[in-house]
């Protein structure tokens, strides 16, 4: 059985659905700090069974001990983390505590229970401002904010943990590029509890009429249309990447580090046009100043993942937008209305 920390969140919920589709048993551990309990029932509508879930915190060593004692856990996929760059600058200690102390507590509990297999959510943010493109796994690493720093530090903790007991650990550090989109059912998707920080959920809310206008952060970058380019990857492709990593670890000991991206750059304006096409709605935008800390361009060389895992992203930007729109204009809208009613 696979323990999925943060399995109620955006990437975790989609990965659980992908695991259920290949009959992999799993147990979710999540404290719902950035997700809704109702996601479990919606996942159940897709898979035919509400997934088992324990509500709790990865920093709770006693709870982890009980989980490893009670369930036949053999592997962990570790999504649980705080992920807002801006918030991490204002609340650095909270980020270090949740992301680093949380992961160390989890690794200690795993070791005590003799479970030494982990798939870890890292991020392209560990490459900082890349000197050249596309980005390969052996490029220099750096962090420009506490969130990125937690990912860098956790990558190091995992490398050192692996080296501390040679031949015993199986660890995958998956560096996601920009995960977007939603499950094709429209029942689960990205569900920001506040004003979205990321481009795709913001564009989706503008198209849905929930926000008036997108701010495009700069159009004077050295890119074809002047706006920043990124490697957006459909969340179901990313979910499949986790299944592939899990299978790789079952066959191979040691430390795996791979990019999960498409290898195709897409600009902010291309994303806006594609979303307008998918939704049939206008996405009004205004160009404003660059966002501090943003890089001009970022996209993956996904070749290593294809060679080692036999995995490759399949879904294009139009599909990412179509699926995100189905979610935004249906279930996400209902959830927003429910929350607004509950707040009154
Ligand atoms: P998310 O916030 O939607 O999901 C994270 C889940 O973890 C949430 O359900 C939250 O309630 C839970 N959680 C957080 N701290 C916890 C704790 N201490 N104990 C128990 N549960 C806890 O985020 P996501 O987008 O699904 O991201 C998943 C992982 O992928 C994170 O580690 C994130 O840093 C990483 N990542 C995300 C992106 C992205 O753009 N979404 C990009 C690169 C890497
Ligand atoms: C994409 C592009 C913006 C919002 C961030 C984190 C990174 C990772 C993913 C977890 C950029 C532009 C955005 C808006 C805009 N998270 N934009 N208007 O910055 O690549 O990565 O999320 O690991 O750590 O830094 O993604 O979606 O925020 O931005 O013009 O309202 O869209 O300038 O060019 P980013 P993003």
| Residue in this structure with the two tokens 């709790």, named with its chain if needed | 56
Domain encompassing residue 134: 2-343
State CA 31 to chain mean position distance: 17
pTM: 0.99
| Residue in this structure with the two tokens 């979710």, named with its chain if needed | 28
Active site residues: 147
What band does 343 get if pLDDT is binned at 50, 70 and 90?
confident
What band does 3 get if pLDDT is binned at 50, 70 and 90?
very high
Q: How many helices (H) and strands (E) does the chain have?
A: 13, 14
| Residue in this structure with the two tokens 């996904």, named with its chain if needed | 302
Report the sign of the C-alpha dihedral through residues 38, 40, 45, 46, in that order: positive
Which residue's alpha carbon is at the smallest distance from atom 1 of ligand 2? 199
Ligand 2 centroid to Cα of residue 280, in Å, is 24
pLDDT tens readout for residues 196-249: 999 999 999 999 999 999 999 999 999 999 999 999 999 999 999 999 999 999
Domains in the chain, number: 1
Q: In sequence order, which residues have a C-beta less than 8 Å from that of residue 93 and are 6 or more positions away?
A: none
pLDDT tens readout for residues 126-139: 999 999 999 999 99
Give the ipTM of the model, two decimals please. Answer: 0.99
Distance separating alpha carbons of residues 216 and 220, to the nearest angstrom: 11
DSSP 6-41: TTTSHHHHHHHHHHHHTT--EEEEE--TTS-THHHH
Question: Candidates 82, 84, 268: which one to mutate for ligand 2, based on the most atoms within 8 Å of Cβ?
Answer: 268
Over residues 20-25, the mean pLDDT reads 98
Question: Candidates 81, 150, 175: which one to mutate for ligand 1, based on the most atoms within 8 Å of Cβ?
Answer: 81
**Upper half-sphere CA count for residue 152 (Cβ side, 13 Å):** 14
In this structure, the number of other CB atoms found within 10 A of the CB of residue 76 comes to: 24
Q: What is the CATH number of the domain that holds 196?
A: 3.40.50.720
| Ligand 1 proximal residues by C-beta, below 6 Å | 6, 8-12, 30-35, 57-59, 79-83, 98, 102, 121, 123, 176, 179
């Amino acid at each position: 059985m696979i323990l999925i920390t943060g399995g109620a969140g955006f990437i975790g919920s989609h990965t659980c659905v992908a695991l259920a589709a290949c009959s992999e048993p799993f147990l979710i551990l999540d404290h719902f700090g950035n997700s809704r309990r109702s996601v479990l029932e919606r996942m159940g509508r897709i898979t035919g069974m509400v997934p088992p879930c324990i509500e709790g915190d990865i920093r709770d060593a006693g709870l982890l001990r009980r989980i490893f004692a009670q369930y036949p856990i053999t592997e962990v996929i570790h999504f649980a983390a705080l992920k807002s760059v801006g918030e991490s600058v204002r609340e650095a200690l909270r980020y270090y505590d949740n992301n680093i102390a949380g992961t160390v507590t989890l690794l200690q509990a795993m070791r005590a229970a003799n479970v030494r297999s982990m798939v870890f959510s890292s991020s392209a943010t560990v490459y900082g401002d890349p000197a050249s493109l596309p980005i390969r796994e052996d490029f220099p690493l750096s962090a420009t904010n506490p969130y990125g720093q937690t990912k860098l530090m956790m990558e190091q903790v995992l490398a050192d943990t692996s080296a501390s007991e040679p031949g015993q650990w199986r660890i995958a550090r998956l560096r996601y590029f920009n995960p977007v989109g939603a499950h094709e059912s429209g029942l689960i998707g990205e569900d920001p509890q506040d004003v979205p920080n990321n481009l795709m959920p913001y564009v989706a809310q503008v198209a849905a009429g929930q926000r008036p206008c997108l701010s495009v952060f700069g159009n004077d970058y050295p890119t074809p249309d002047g706006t920043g380019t990124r490697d957006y990857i459909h969340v179901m492709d990313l979910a499949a990447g986790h299944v592939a990593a899990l299978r790789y670890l079952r066959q191979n000991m040691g430390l795996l580090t791979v990019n999960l991206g498409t290898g195709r750059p897409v600009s902010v304006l291309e994303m806006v046009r594609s979303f307008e096409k998918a939704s049939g709605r206008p996405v009004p935008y205004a160009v404003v100043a660059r966002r501090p800390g943003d890089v001009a361009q970022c996209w993956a060389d996904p070749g290593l993942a294809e060679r080692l895992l036999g995995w490759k992203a399949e879904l294009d930007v139009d599909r990412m937008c179509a699926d995100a729109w189905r979610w935004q204009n249906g279930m996400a809208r209902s959830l927003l209305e429910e929350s607004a009613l509950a707040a009154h």
